[in-house]
Amino acid sequence: MDKELLPHRRRNQLTGEWVLCSPHRATRPWLGQQEEVHKEERPEHDPSCYLCPGNRRANGVDNPSYEGTYVFENDFPALLNEDPSDDASEHHLLRCANVQGTCRVICFSPRHDLTLAKMEPADICRVIQTWKEQTAELGQKYKWVQVFENKGAIMGCSNPHPHGQVWAMDAIPTLPLQEDARQREYFGNHHDRLLLNYVELEIERKERMICQNDDWAVVVPYWATWPFETLLLPRFKISRMTELTTNKAESLAVVMKELLQRYDGLFSCDFPYSMGWHGAPFNGSAGEHWQLHAHFYPPLLRSATVKKFMVGFEMMAEPQRDITPETAADRLREVKL
């Protein structure tokens, strides 16, 4: 068997975890679950949408006639900003901890039909500015601010109006804690930032590069778990979203639009994904070992109707993928814009 097709494991340098790569399985037949593809033409304004301007939300509050981005407190938040009860556990094997936080919704545009991929860079830049403003405000009170977007019903998105969310909490969640530890360890050993060194290595190698400009680069990471997972990386030192300058935000908007257009073009569909930004926590540290970055996790595997399932071995042992990150990068690069 060709050496490139042999199974192997790759280490995720951000988390310390491993992923099993089995490229020889990429041609296996598929007789399993296939998703429905809805190619509906959405109107610019949907009178039944809870997020469109002027409409009434589920809690009875009317949205203003907003013209740009619109942020409001989530009507059904996962976190509450209320005084906690006693933080006692009844047994050392039954631990719990109180948590406080805030959850907000960010409508990207008044247009019901306008995803980030279809927006002009100037409009995407306004979304980025909103991300920055929300992160700055919430970071004054909370240790962790998570900006994210779930796009598509397949990713659990309950409303098709293009929007994202920001959750802030007074504790640092599990995955950011892992990233903090790995980046801190690397900085201590190499006196430089892990992801800053990594992005330049990927630019030099070119195997997993998708697109880039002078300030940003998008790669399918060497340790990618999801078939068409990507990592959006700055090529300059920046620890948090709050440090983003206007020029760097403008160049970010351009590279984001190209990535999302490539996603939509891959299977000729409104490409679903979950994406989120990771930056240094607001825990009193300067965060000099941290490098701001965004993760994009699309669920699709072979087509618009076949998704990747994390089951069996993935749930019981470790993540596994069939197509290599290099093959995924090739396919994304080949998309005609």
- pLDDT, average across residues 235-243: 98
Indicate whether 144 pLDDT > 90. yes
Indicate whether 165 pLDDT > 80. yes
Lowest model confidence (mean pLDDT) among 67-81, 163-177, 217-231, 295-309? 295-309
- The answer, as to whether pTM is greater than 0.85, is yes
Task: With beta carbons less than 8 A apart as the criterion, state whether 239 and 291 touch.
Answer: yes
Indicate whether 35 pLDDT > 80. no
Q: What is the CA radius of gyration of the chain?
A: 21
| Type of residue at 333 | R
- pLDDT, average across residues 128-144: 98
**pLDDT at site 5:** 77
**Angle (nearest 5°) at CA 164 between 132 and 276:** 70
What whole-number percentage of the chain has pLDDT above 90?
A: 81
**pLDDT at site 217:** 98
How far is 44 from 39, CA to CA, in rounded Å?
A: 15
Sign of CA dihedral 150, 155, 156, 161: positive
Question: SS3 of 295, please?
Answer: strand
Q: Kindly name the residue from 8, 163, 190, 289 that is annotated as catalytic.
A: 163
Residues at the annotated binding site? Answer: 25-28, 49, 52, 58, 74-75, 112, 150, 156-158, 161, 165, 179, 278, 293, 295, 308-309, 313-314, 320
Task: With beta carbons less than 8 A apart as the criterion, state whether 142 and 81 touch.
Answer: no
List pLDDT tens digits, range 246-271.
Answer: 999 999 999 999 999 999 999 999 99
Beta-strand pair 144-151/163-169? antiparallel
Residues at the annotated binding site for Zn(2+)? Answer: 49, 52, 112, 161
Lowest model confidence (mean pLDDT) among 43-57, 73-87, 92-106, 247-261? 73-87
**pLDDT at site 200:** 98
Task: Write down the mean pLDDT value for the chain.
Answer: 93
**pLDDT at site 149:** 98
Tally of domains in the chain: 1
For residues 50 and 36, the model is more confident at: 50
The closest alpha carbon to 324, from 217, 220, 185, belongs to: 220
Task: With beta carbons less than 8 A apart as the criterion, state whether 305 and 35 touch.
Answer: yes
Residues at the annotated binding site for Fe cation? Answer: 179, 278, 293, 295
Confidence at 205, pLDDT banded by 50, 70, 90: very high
List pLDDT tens digits, range 218-233.
Answer: 999 999 999 999 999 9
Confidence at 31, pLDDT banded by 50, 70, 90: very low
Element (H, E) at 188: helix 174-190
Indicate whether 214 pLDDT > 90. yes
Q: Which domain holds residue 263?
A: 3-334
- pLDDT, average across residues 77-103: 84
Indicate whether 4 pLDDT > 80. no
What whole-number percentage of the chain has pLDDT above 70?
A: 93
Task: With beta carbons less than 8 A apart as the criterion, state whether 287 and 280 touch.
Answer: yes
List pLDDT tens digits, range 102-130.
Answer: 999 999 999 999 999 999 999 999 999 99
**Catalytic status, residue 163:** yes
Question: SS3 of 329, please?
Answer: helix
Read off the CATH number of the domain in which 33 is found: 3.30.428.10
List strands edge to edge, sheet with 293-297. 70-73, 101-107, 163-169, 144-151, 273-278, 293-297, 230-234, 216-219, 209-212
CA dist list (Å): 154 to 21, 51, 107, 158, 256: 24, 19, 19, 10, 21
